[in-house]
Amino acid sequence: MKESLRQQDYHKVFQKRGDCIRLLAQTSGVVIFFAWFFYRSIWAVPLLFPLGILYFRRCVNRQCRKNRQELTMQFKECILSVANSLRSGYALENAFLESREDIRMLYGEHSAMYRELELIRRGMILNITLEELISDLADRSGIEEIEQFSAILNIAKRGGGNVTQIIRTTAEVISNKVETMQEMLTMLQGRRLEQNVMEIMPFGISLYIAAAYPGYFGTLYHNGMGIIVMTLCLAVYAGAYLLGEKILDRIEEEL
């Protein structure tokens, strides 16, 4: 690929400096809250620094997965648009250019797929073949469906035959696969929402009791036994959180 094209690496979550700053601020807020909730002491913040690192890494991995899932859904709409244009008699390259308008209407000009189609348009102006451009997108995204489409596109172009029919059939197969994955992700999001509620509930109940009965938890802070008890509570909570997240992440990765 030519260096003049600005490309997004979908294995990296931070495309702008502000994204990293916002997540660091969010992580700091979580660590400070945990230090106050479990120890009522600002001196606990350095001790909870490993917890902050763990939270930061999980947020990065989750956002990276989310970005790739969004691109997968948008790519499905793109290739369906391409297939419709092929039925109307467009050449493959022109079909991709025409799909930009459909993606813009569906997801907006700031969507990942619209930016990628703009890269494709600019690449064609620089005499870069469509196969190279799609292959580059497959490499940067690491998305199986785009990799499959890129491989079939290369084979169809090199082997000749009815390229239009091959691409249309491939688009329909990939679209059906992505739709099935989308339905499963929707169900999984429901389970993740339930888990998020369960993760927040202990804090909500404790804060309610503390507000209704001031001093109720006073014996758990600023003394040796209280620190031990709260540290055990933190360990149990962190273990349950990690176990639940790991189960959902494993299911999501297998989709």
- The dihedrals phi and psi of 128, each to the nearest 5 degrees, come to -90, 135
Residue 229's pLDDT is 94
Amino acid 65: pLDDT = 86
- pTM for the structure as a whole: 0.81
Q: Is residue 209 part of a domain?
A: no
Q: Is 12 part of any domain? A: no
Residue 236 lies inside a defined structural domain of this protein: yes
pLDDT at residue 255, as a whole number: 66
* Domain presence at residue 26: yes
Please indicate, yes or no, if residue 107 is contained in any of the structural domains: yes
Using alpha carbons, select from 85, 75, 92, 93 the residue that is nearest to residue 163. Answer: 92
- 179 within domain boundaries: yes
pLDDT (0 to 100) of residue 215: 84
Is the residue at 5 inside a domain? no
Mean pLDDT per block of 10 residues along the chain (255 residues) reads 58 71 92 94 91 90 87 92 89 91 92 92 91 92 90 83 82 87 87 90 92 88 92 93 87 74
* Exposure class string for 26-62: b at 16+ Cβ within 10 A, else e: ebeebbeebbebbbeeeebbeebeebbeebbeeebeb
**Structural domain that includes position 238:** 17-203+216-254
Rounded CA-CA distance 4/123 in Å is: 9
Establish if 88 belongs to a structural domain: yes
Phi/psi of residue 6, nearest 5 degrees: -85, 120
Distance CA 66, CA 241 (A): 20
Question: How many domains is the chain built from?
Answer: 1
